[in-house]
Structure 1
Amino acid sequence: MAAQVSYDDVRVGTEMPARDITVKRIDLLRYCGACSDFTATHWNERIAKSVGLPDVIAHGTYTIAAAVRVLTDWVGDPAALLEYSVRRFTRPVVVPDDDAGATVRISGAVEELLDDRRAVVRLRARFDGLEVMSGARAVVRLA
């Protein structure tokens, strides 16, 4: 599949459309199985609260995966992702046991244009209006 975003059409500061991702407890349980990380703070409210958390929290890697998915959807080709890194997580995504779940807003902007049609994109993930990961950057190859 060819990339939808052309290198010639972006500039430093070009923003990818923000997208809200809903995270529910069932999503966390599925993710536990997919990544074999059954740490109780990701599914058990009693355990999460016993260690000082307000409730069950999403895996940090779940948030990373959501951000990458929004980015590769924007670029138009999952294979266009060349590099990805997150410096640290700044706060948890708390997922209540209800039908609404938690909403994470994923956004990003082109931070630098490189040779060979590559771009550095700074990604953001916000929960309750606050950043949940810091230093998230990806390098993608554009059409």
Structure 2
Amino acid sequence: MTATVSYDDVEVGTELPSKTFPIQRSNLVQYAGASGDFNVIHWNERVAKSVGLPNVIAHGMFTMAEASRVLTEWVGDPGAVVDYGVRFTKPVVVPDDDAGASLEVSGKVTEKLDARRVAVELTARSGDDKVLGRAKAVLQLA
């Protein structure tokens, strides 16, 4: 698979399509099984609250992975992500109800680099909280 976005068609300031990801407790259980991260703060409300959290929280790496989908869906190829890093600023709190939580992610091209690469910054929010800081990626375009 190759990137479907052409370097020549992208300008600094190009906005990636925003996306909202619903997050339920069942997603956390599935992620725990896939990742092997069974830390109780990701599934047990009593323990999460006993350590000062408002409720069960999503895994940081799950949040980071969901946010990266804005990149991969825009560029059309997960292999086009050359570099990606974030700083976790707030947890995504996932209540045990029908609504769960939501992660709203947007992105913007901030720089055109050499070798048909672009720098992208992501903004990720859950409710009023910015949950990822310094969320930056480098993408290899067609």
TM-score normalized by structure 2? 0.96
- State the alpha-carbon separation in 2 of the partners of residues 109 and 25 from structure 1: 30
- State the alpha-carbon separation in 1 of the partners of residues 120 and 131 from structure 2: 17
- State the alpha-carbon separation in 1 of the partners of residues 117 and 15 from structure 2: 15
Which residue of the partner structure matches residue 71 of structure 2?
Answer: 71
TM-score normalized by structure 1? 0.96
1:124 deviates by 1.4
Q: Using the aligned pairs only, state the percent identity.
A: 59
Residues 88-137 of structure 1: CA deviation (Å, up to 9, x unaligned): 21111000111211010011100111011100111111011321011011
Which residue of the partner structure matches residue 142 of structure 1?
Answer: 141
Which residue of the partner structure matches residue 96 of structure 2?
Answer: 97
Structure 1, unpaired ranges of 5+: none
Which residue of the partner structure matches residue 18 of structure 2?
Answer: 18
| 1:10 counterpart letter in structure 2 | V
- State the alpha-carbon separation in 1 of the partners of residues 77 and 55 from structure 2: 35
- State the alpha-carbon separation in 2 of the partners of residues 10 and 135 from structure 1: 22
- State the alpha-carbon separation in 2 of the partners of residues 11 and 22 from structure 1: 30
Residues 10-62 of structure 1: CA deviation (Å, up to 9, x unaligned): 11111101000001000000101111111110000000011111110001101
Whether the 8 Å CA contact 2:70–2:107 is kept in 1: the answer is no
Matched, 1:44 2:47: no
* SS in structure 1 at match of 2:108: strand
- Residue-pair matches, total: 142
- State the alpha-carbon separation in 2 of the partners of residues 129 and 20 from structure 1: 14
Structure 2, unpaired ranges of 5+: none
